Amino acid sequence: MSELTLLSENKVAGGWHRQFKHYSNTLNCEMRFAIYLPPKIELGHRAPVLYWLSGLTCTDENFMQKAGAFKRAAELGMIIVAPDTSPRGDGVPDDENQAYDFGLGAGFYVNATQSPWQQHYQMYDYIVKELPDLIEAEFAVTPQRAISGHSMGGHGALMIALRNPRRYSSVSAFSPICNPSDCPWGVKAFSGYLGDDKTNWLNYDSTHLIKQISHHDFIPALVDQGEQDQFLTAQLKPDALIQAAQLNNYPLVYRSHPGYDHSYYFISSFIDDHLAFHAEYFN
């Protein structure tokens, strides 16, 4: 188990926001994550964990600084963990043109199989295995986990939950990339990280996975989408996910919100609903 180094801490909503770094054996580089510990932790209690996966260009800081989640998380007694969106550091490859949608900041939560990405870009294993093992060894957590995210992170949350339904009590997403094997962002990322065999892409596509999951493994799922989202039609494609869920009678809760866009203004408007949603299934 790697050693944690505290980078910063801030008292907030009666609890603590802390930022750590550690060496990841999965990603072969130093990684950073942020954690919110509600007040009940200092009173000697344990708490369930919500893992938040962020979107393209983001780090561990975006959600923690912009979502406004701490007060409700404190009330609900919930830990929030926000990892980075990709490996980083010297020797970690990036897009040759430093594009925002591939390479650093754009790991897409997959295990890369193609050179030169496979040495570091193993984000699926990091989120599903290494990071939870570290959190559960170092902090006062219960065995309960939920997962959520935004955009690329919404894709990651849905995909990871559908592939590992018994690891999570619930899943939610804001503006997720629902059908990444059939949108420009996803095609670019999957081609680079996974190669040209599109059958391998389907392992990371929630629209495909939600059609395949057994009824015995259904877990509660909530998706919120802004109707003025500039990426709605070309990149996010929620209709594909909705139709796939209906084919499998999956009880997906999908909410469409007039006027809202892709930003953290949207997330901060409905984050309390998502925290309450996860708390219901923790309990």
Catalytic residues: 151, 229, 262
- DSSP 8-state class, residue 61: H
In this structure, how many other beta carbons lie within 10 angstroms of the beta carbon of residue 101?
A: 17
Angle at 134 between CA 133 and CA 135, to 5 degrees: 95
- Helix ranges (H only) for 77-170 are 123-125, 131-138, 152-163
The residue among 110, 234, 112, 114 whose CA lies nearest residue 179 is: 234
- Helix ranges (H only) for 217-263 are 238-247
Task: In whole angstroms, give the CA distance from residue 213 to residue 227.
Answer: 28
In SS3 terms, 10-28 reads as: EEECCEEEEEEEEEECCCC
Task: Please confirm whether the linkage preceding 132 is cis (ω < 30° from 0).
Answer: no
The residue among 243, 53, 271, 274 whose CA lies nearest residue 155 is: 53
